[in-house]
Copies of this chain bind each other. A is one copy, B any other.
Amino acid sequence: MKTKKVAIVGASGYSGEVLVQLLLQHPHAELVAVTSRQNAGQTLAQVFPKFASHPKSRTLRFTEPNAEVLAKQAEVVFLALPHGVAAEYAVPLVNAGCMVIDLSADFRLKSPELYKEFYTHEHPAPELLKKAVYGLPEFYRDEIKKSLLIASPGCYPTSILLPAIPLLKAGLIQPQGIIADSLSGVSGAGRKAEIDYLFCECNESVRPYGVPKHRHLSEIEEQLSLAAETPVTIQFTPHLIPVNRGILTTLYLNPTGKASADTIADCYAKAYANEPFVRLLEGKAFPDTKNVVGTNVCEIAWRLDPRTRRLIVMSAEDNLVKGASGQAVQSLNILSGWPETSGLV
**Chain A residues near B (Cβ < 8 Å):** 14, 25, 49-50, 52-53, 179, 181, 183, 185-187, 191-195, 197-209, 211-213, 233-235, 237, 239, 241-246, 248, 250, 252, 276-277, 279, 281, 285-295, 297, 299, 303, 305, 307-308, 310, 312, 314, 316, 345
Contact status A243-B206, CB under 8 Å: yes
Contact status B208-A286, CB under 8 Å: yes
Contact status B198-A286, CB under 8 Å: no
Q: Please, which residue of chain B has its CB at the minimum distance from the CB of A179?
A: B252
Complex CA distance for A193 and B200, rounded to whole angstroms: 11
Contact status A49-B203, CB under 8 Å: no
Complex CA distance for A204 and B187, rounded to whole angstroms: 12
Q: A183-B241, A286-B209 are in contact. Are A198 and B191 (CB under 8 A)?
A: yes
Complex CA distance for A189 and B250, rounded to whole angstroms: 21
Q: How far is the CB of A113 from chain B (nearest CB, A)?
A: 16
Q: A53-B279, A198-B199, A235-B312 are in contact. Are A289 and B212 (CB under 8 A)?
A: no
Contact status B211-A200, CB under 8 Å: no
Contact status B289-A235, CB under 8 Å: no
Q: Please, which residue of chain B has its CB at the minimum distance from the CB of A299?
A: B49
Q: Please, which residue of chain B has its CB at the minimum distance from the CB of A196?
A: B193
Residues of B close to A202: CB separation below 8 A: 199
Q: Which of B186, B213, B244, B289 is close to A307, meaning CB atoms less than 8 Å apart? A: B213
Contact status A211-B50, CB under 8 Å: no
Q: How far is the CB of A330 from chain B (nearest CB, A)?
A: 14
Residues of B close to A316: CB separation below 8 A: 206-207
